[in-house]
Amino acid sequence: MAREAYHFPLNTSGALKAMTIKVGDRLPDATFMTPTEDGPAPKTTADVFAGKRVALLALPGAFTPTCSAKHLPGFKTHAAELRAKGVDLIVCVSVNDVFVMKAWGKDQGITDEVMMLADGNGEFTKAIGLDFDGSKFGMGRRSQRYSLVAKDGVVEQLNVEQAGEFKVSSADYLLEHL
């Protein structure tokens, strides 16, 4: 049975939303939750990005079709190549709770290749201007699909998808532009 394609508009009108974050900007202070063997643990922006070159992939939701079939698996597959090009850490951010992120990471076979970060209330996503209203799909506020590279918390590369597309946020595209 073929899976139906789901396309999440960037806002309720379907038009692109003005972005807040851009190359050269410092990522805002935020606190994520990450699953650990000891249970959920907070991770601040400083914990994740300070002193490191980080590749971040963000997506509308765990267990959604494109996110599960292409986006996260691509970063898992290319983790060694990203590290060979100077990436110290790969993180996946989604506006989901930490328990969903843990279950999705397990479902995707993620071990230490990618750090799963829950932006449960969407505070980081909203602060960088890359949220959208998915209420008409029953999803509430969500993250647009994008990837970025930040060095010591400063954005070096930012790749934001157009609604319904999966091209510039992929691990392949990020690798080509490192």
- Single out the catalytic residue among 30, 67, 95, 150: 67
Cα 120 from Cα 177, distance rounded (Å): 30
The set of residues, in sequence order, having a beta carbon less than 8 Å from that of 39 and lying 6+ positions away, is: none
> Contacts for 23-27 with beta carbons within 8 Å, 24 or more apart?
23/155, 23/156, 23/157, 23/158, 24/154, 24/155, 25/154, 25/155, 26/153, 26/154, 26/155, 27/124, 27/128, 27/150, 27/153, 27/154, 27/155
67 is catalytic: yes
For 75, the token pair is 């970063």
User: Would you name the residues annotated as active-site residues?
Assistant: 67
